[in-house]
Amino acid sequence: MIDPATNALASLPHGPEFRFLDRLIRLEPGKAGVGEYTVRGDEPFLRGHFPGHPIFPGVLLVEAAAQLAGTVAQSDPEIPPMSGMKLTAMRAVKIVGTARPGEIIRLEAYLTGRLGNLVQARTLALVNGNVIMQAEITLSGEAGAETENKQ
């Protein structure tokens, strides 16, 4: 049997320059996941955010959490993957801390609901055990080719 976490990151449509999920620590397919991103310090956006005092942008914390939530959703063994999955809504977003070069951002995503092509998740980002971002997000996608061919 293949470990679902082994190939789950392959479901991300993002190119390497816009991928904020380095590794999966835990995956409960279709339910929850934990991942990590190491802030390397050489990311181009850090040069301007902020010169001399770089911090990982809060909006990219939300993006990283959305990438993890999408990975969790696409790994559900009962529901075919959706194409074109993207972040479509954010609620209750709170950015209460920062991540700096050399720090590891721990991401957590818990799917809270699905309805058709919509996926809802509660997400967190932590550094050194401290919550630095929390958000409720909605992802949307299109039915996979397998589903479309059956209609």
The full set of domains in the chain, from first to last, is: 16-150 (3.10.129.10)
What pLDDT, on the 0 to 100 scale, is given for residue 96?
Answer: 98
**pLDDT band at 144; cut points 50, 70, 90:** low
The per-residue pLDDT of the chain, averaged, comes to 90
Q: How far apart are CA 133 and CA 41, in angstroms?
A: 20
Q: Which of 19, 22, 43, 49 is catalytic?
A: 49
Q: Exposed, middle or buried, 74 (CB in 10 Å: 0-12/13-18/19+)?
A: buried
Element at 116 (helix H, strand E): none
Residue 56: closest CA among 122, 108, 102: 102
User: Residue 146 pLDDT > 90, yes or no?
Assistant: no
Q: Are 121 and 112 in contact (CB under 8 A)?
A: yes
Q: What is the pTM of this model?
A: 0.89
Q: What is the pLDDT of residue 28?
A: 97
Q: Residue 148's pLDDT is what? A: 41
pLDDT tens column, 19-49: 999 999 999 999 999 999 999 999 999 999 9
Residue with tokens 């620590």: 25
Q: What is the pLDDT of residues 75-118, one digit of tens each?
A: 999 999 999 899 999 999 999 999 999 999 999 999 999 999 99
| Residue 14 is among the residues annotated as catalytic for this protein | no
Spatial contact of 103 and 39, defined as CB atoms under 8 Å apart: yes
